[in-house]
Chain A
Amino acid sequence: MRTNDNVVIHPQSDSTLSAKQLEDNFADIHPPLTDTTVGIEADRCYYCYDAPCTAACPTSIDIPLFIRQIYTKDTSGAAKTILDSNIMGGMCARVCPTENLCEGDCVRNTHEDKPVAIGLLQRYATDSVQSTGKQLFERQADTGKKIAVVGAGPAGMACAHQLSMLGNSVTVFEDKNKAGGLNEYGIAAYKTVDDFAQKEIQYIMDLGGIEIKTGMALGRDLTLGNLQKDFDAVFLAVGLAGVRALDLENECADGIQDAVDYISVLRQSDDLKNLSVGDNVVVIGGGMTAIDIAVQSKRLGAKRVAIIYRRGPDEMGASDVERKFAQTNGVDIHFWSKISQIVTNNNAVSEIVIEETKLAEGELKGTGKMHTMQTDSLFKAVGQLLDNEVDGINQLQCDRAKIVVDINRRTSSEGVWAGGDCIDNGYDLVVAAVEDGKIAARDIHQSING
């Protein structure tokens, strides 16, 4: 069930947009602050005591401090404050749904409904060191200990960085041929332009003490047992490699695919002109992935894009801001609707049947009201799943398709920790994966170094 780099794209009509239009559509959606605007924005921070923004950040970045450092033009000090808590502070500045996190709790919302632009300030600070490559971290004395990390996504790389800083040697095993996880293959293209994911990985690698072995998959090339034998500890950060099914007839017809697979092709494409996109695109789902595939399809030139979501706007996994972003990009969101049938023609999807839903006694029910929608491209974005058939993972205690861990991210197996999307951290966000990696690393270090 694992995805790989070579997903087949089903035949669809080619994008009708010009190269210039495509370039504009996939440019940075939140352009960075300038040296002038950054001072004005930093000045808006009240430097709150026991700040609510910091409490709302899963990695607890000392936000008032880093903003004050920006204000006093100690930009690399600001970057250090951020990266100390969150080594992927640069990516998080771009992809965090800040409206639900730090900025959502900014006290400025109380009186003026306009929080301090914490994400953009964070980006300004982290970009300043990322662009010069200035190394802010040093490794502590070598402990002689070796740790295996499985998966080079945010959780795995954050763990590796923290462990290496503490003096341990880390080997990261990654299935794909590039590190970065969903930062590289999943996040919407316009959120992280200019190959930023790879630059961030490079910054982490520049610390030293970390080796990444790509093309190495647990379950195919490695066993958990061997890793446990060869290393002092193992950290599993495999994300969610499986994709949930719709459980409908004709689900394998042409024109139907997993949203994450298509996004991964999009992210790896050198020339968006070569990507084909449907005329009538339908997305099933209500989370960030649904929004991303819908908007990116639209920006690639799809004529009509609709999201079909079972429940209402309040229940959506995607934030308000993301929902509105989709809507202003011309995506129709059909709430209280579910797909009930896939109609094919020549083994390709041609139409879907949609049934309206409602809540009855707290349960979601079909109302029996049906309508059809012309569809030549159908994306499944109904959630990713832990691939718990993988050898090693299948020996661990799991609950609702997530690996069970304690507060220090220890699994049921001695010497094995886990973090990121493959555990239930309550978010499924990059920032939460980084926090898992950091916490696990500190606990691993303590436990193996006595």
Chain B
Amino acid sequence: MADLTTNFLGIQSPNPFWLASAPPTDKAYNVERAFEAGWGGVVWKTLGVNPPVVNVNGPRYSSKLSNERRVIGFNNIELISDRSFETNIREIEQVKKNWPDRVIIGSAMFPMEEKYWLELIPEMEKAGVDGFELNFGCPHGMSERGMGSAVGQVPEYVRLCTEFCKKATSLPVIVKLTPNVTNVVPIAEAALEGKADAVSLINTINSIMGVDLDTFNMYPNTGGMGSHGGYCGEAVKPIALNMVAEIARNKKTSGLPISGIGGISSWKDAVEFITLGSTTVQVCTAAMVYGFRIVDELKSGLSGFLDEKGIASVNDLVGRAVPSVTDWKNLNLNHIDKAVIDQDACIKCGRCHIACEDTSHQAITKEKDGVRFFEVIEEECVGCNLCVSVCPVENCITMVAQTEGVDLRTGKPIVNTHSDWTTHPNNPAKVS
């Protein structure tokens, strides 16, 4: 059995699966249930200063569903904890006593004045948290009050607030980043400059779920008026993965530990986050949709995967895929792939044909000898992968690397040397 324990910033966790700061970690009752179910840790629902915030009494959540009503994306306008600071502290203390082997991270969002941090962070530390997560990500409501993503979007504020927190505690401090920025890297760098021990990402993405077509009111709304929410769940995973990888491969931040968040709903998602540089992963939406029991699938899938690959521990997996991420300009322009359709697997739906015909390179036939027949025309195929992307049968169309002979499309010989945009003759800024 592979070793699922993780050491993140010196904090030991029986497995890398933490619940993200959100409704699943709102109070003692939920967190106790989560630990009973087997979660390695939680980031407690974000604490704020007194008096506590208030939430709307209309819909806080809404979802993007598949036709089978599976939740693909999820949106919320919930604020941080709407319970008093003291209540939260009391409960954290109690739960930590009951579950000493599990991780409790205290999430904080205070105004940008040092005094709040110096006063409240030590209170949380006394309650027994293992570390802190600074919520610079909440994109709705709190940001209008100069907190959450309003801080997280300005590198200077991020650095400043991180410094306030570091001054108040010797425990590890994780800075939680917002994806609502054009480039997440400078923000991570600012956190590092403020002496953050780690970053976690992503928080939710600004979103409007839709419009009620009878009333022409945006949806979800509270009595007719709505406000943008934060988007999360499966749909945001690719965006989150990219941001994690950008930080992991950026020179300045490459050593900075990461707790990966965003759309994780299966062990495979978790492995992807880990291989792109995360040491732990956090889950919110999947737990909100299916309940805490999904941790069983996460743990068994991850451990089965490690066993199958002969990898001893989660730690050995961290960052394994990072070296494969690079800038476009470094991609090998000599490499040639062509699509190949497995005729035995082909069900003859014709989707590859019409996709390639209408929108790509007219490289798939539709008939042969008067009958439906879909085959790649090598002379036209540019290897774009569109056909693979639209084919309903797994592994029916594959991209096959061409290693010898001539590229029938260009008539040029296939060479096994590397050549990229940096030296390409068409590049006005090429290095010679």
* A joins B in a complex: yes
Q: Which residues of A contact B (CB under 8 A)?
A: 39-40, 42-43, 46-52, 71, 107-108, 110-111
Could you tell me if A50 and B366 are in contact, using CB atoms closer than 8 angstroms? yes
Residue B90 at the chain A interface, CB threshold 8 Å = no
Partner of A43, one of B66, B349, B372: B66
- Residues from chain A with a CB closer than 8 A to the CB of B392 are 46
- Residues from chain B with a CB closer than 8 A to the CB of A49 are 349-351, 353-354, 366
Partner of B349, one of A39, A42, A46, A71: A46
- Residues from chain B with a CB closer than 8 A to the CB of A40 are 67-68
The distance in angstroms between the C-alpha atoms of A110 and B392, with both chains bound, is 12
Given contacts A43-B67, A49-B349, A111-B347, 17 further A-B contacts (CB under 8 A): A39-B69, A40-B68, A43-B66, A43-B68, A46-B392, A47-B351, A48-B349, A48-B350, A48-B351, A50-B354, A50-B366, A51-B350, A52-B372, A107-B348, A107-B349, A108-B347, A111-B393
The distance in angstroms between the C-alpha atoms of A375 and B67, with both chains bound, is 54
Among all A-B residue pairs, the 7 with the closest Cβ atoms = A49-B350, A49-B354, A43-B67, A110-B347, A107-B347, A48-B349, A39-B67
- Residues from chain A with a CB closer than 8 A to the CB of B349 are 46, 48-49, 107
Bitwise, B64-106 to A at CB < 8 A (1) or not (0) is 0011110000000000000000000000000000000000000
Q: List 16 A-B contacts (CB under 8 A).
A: A39-B69, A40-B67, A42-B67, A43-B66, A43-B67, A46-B347, A46-B351, A46-B392, A48-B351, A49-B366, A50-B350, A52-B372, A71-B67, A108-B347, A110-B348, A111-B347
- Residues from chain B with a CB closer than 8 A to the CB of A50 are 350, 354, 366, 372
- Residues from chain A with a CB closer than 8 A to the CB of B66 are 43
The distance in angstroms between the C-alpha atoms of A334 and B69, with both chains bound, is 48
The distance in angstroms between the C-alpha atoms of A420 and B68, with both chains bound, is 41
- Residues from chain B with a CB closer than 8 A to the CB of A48 are 348-351
The distance in angstroms between the C-alpha atoms of A224 and B249, with both chains bound, is 87
- Residues from chain A with a CB closer than 8 A to the CB of B67 are 39-40, 42-43, 71
Indicate the member of B67, B348, B354 with the most A CB atoms within 10 Å: B67
- Residues from chain A with a CB closer than 8 A to the CB of B69 are 39
Q: Which of chain B's residues 300-359 have a Cβ closer than 8 Å to chain A? A: 347-351, 353-354
The chain B residue with its CB closest to the CB of A108 is: B347
Chain A nearest CB from B419 CB (Å) reads 37
The chain A residue with its CB closest to the CB of B393 is: A111
- Residues from chain A with a CB closer than 8 A to the CB of B372 are 50, 52
The chain A residue with its CB closest to the CB of B352 is: A49
The distance in angstroms between the C-alpha atoms of A107 and B67, with both chains bound, is 21
The distance in angstroms between the C-alpha atoms of A107 and B354, with both chains bound, is 16
- Residues from chain B with a CB closer than 8 A to the CB of A107 are 347-349
Q: Which of chain B's residues 165-184 have a Cβ closer than 8 Å to chain A? A: none
Chain A nearest CB from B362 CB (Å) reads 14
The distance in angstroms between the C-alpha atoms of A39 and B70, with both chains bound, is 12
Chain B nearest CB from A37 CB (Å) reads 10
Could you tell me if B351 and A52 are in contact, using CB atoms closer than 8 angstroms? no
Bitwise, B34-78 to A at CB < 8 A (1) or not (0) is 000000000000000000000000000000001111000000000
Indicate the member of B349, B354, B392 with the most A CB atoms within 10 Å: B349
Bitwise, B365-382 to A at CB < 8 A (1) or not (0) is 010000010000000000
- Residues from chain B with a CB closer than 8 A to the CB of A108 are 347
- Residues from chain A with a CB closer than 8 A to the CB of B351 are 46-49
The chain B residue with its CB closest to the CB of A109 is: B347
- Residues from chain B with a CB closer than 8 A to the CB of A110 are 347-348
- Residues from chain A with a CB closer than 8 A to the CB of B393 are 111
Indicate the member of A48, A110, A111 with the most B CB atoms within 10 Å: A48
The distance in angstroms between the C-alpha atoms of A47 and B392, with both chains bound, is 10
The chain A residue with its CB closest to the CB of B68 is: A40
Chain B nearest CB from A7 CB (Å) reads 48
The distance in angstroms between the C-alpha atoms of A48 and B372, with both chains bound, is 12
The distance in angstroms between the C-alpha atoms of A110 and B350, with both chains bound, is 14
Chain A nearest CB from B375 CB (Å) reads 14
- Residues from chain B with a CB closer than 8 A to the CB of A111 are 347, 393
- Residues from chain A with a CB closer than 8 A to the CB of B353 are 49
The chain A residue with its CB closest to the CB of B350 is: A49
Chain B nearest CB from A197 CB (Å) reads 32
Q: Which of chain B's residues 388-402 have a Cβ closer than 8 Å to chain A? A: 392-393
Chain A nearest CB from B385 CB (Å) reads 19
Chain A nearest CB from B151 CB (Å) reads 41
The chain B residue with its CB closest to the CB of A112 is: B347
The distance in angstroms between the C-alpha atoms of A49 and B356, with both chains bound, is 12
Chain A nearest CB from B389 CB (Å) reads 14
The chain A residue with its CB closest to the CB of B65 is: A39
Could you tell me if B348 and A52 are in contact, using CB atoms closer than 8 angstroms? yes
Bitwise, B399-430 to A at CB < 8 A (1) or not (0) is 00000000000000000000000000000000
Chain B nearest CB from A105 CB (Å) reads 10
Chain B nearest CB from A402 CB (Å) reads 29
- Residues from chain A with a CB closer than 8 A to the CB of B348 are 48, 52, 107, 110
Question: Known contacts A47-B351, A49-B351, A52-B372; is A39 also within 8 Å of B366 by CB?
Answer: no
The distance in angstroms between the C-alpha atoms of A39 and B354, with both chains bound, is 25
The distance in angstroms between the C-alpha atoms of A110 and B342, with both chains bound, is 14
The distance in angstroms between the C-alpha atoms of A266 and B15, with both chains bound, is 70
The distance in angstroms between the C-alpha atoms of A39 and B66, with both chains bound, is 9
Chain A nearest CB from B356 CB (Å) reads 10
The distance in angstroms between the C-alpha atoms of A225 and B350, with both chains bound, is 52
The distance in angstroms between the C-alpha atoms of A110 and B345, with both chains bound, is 9
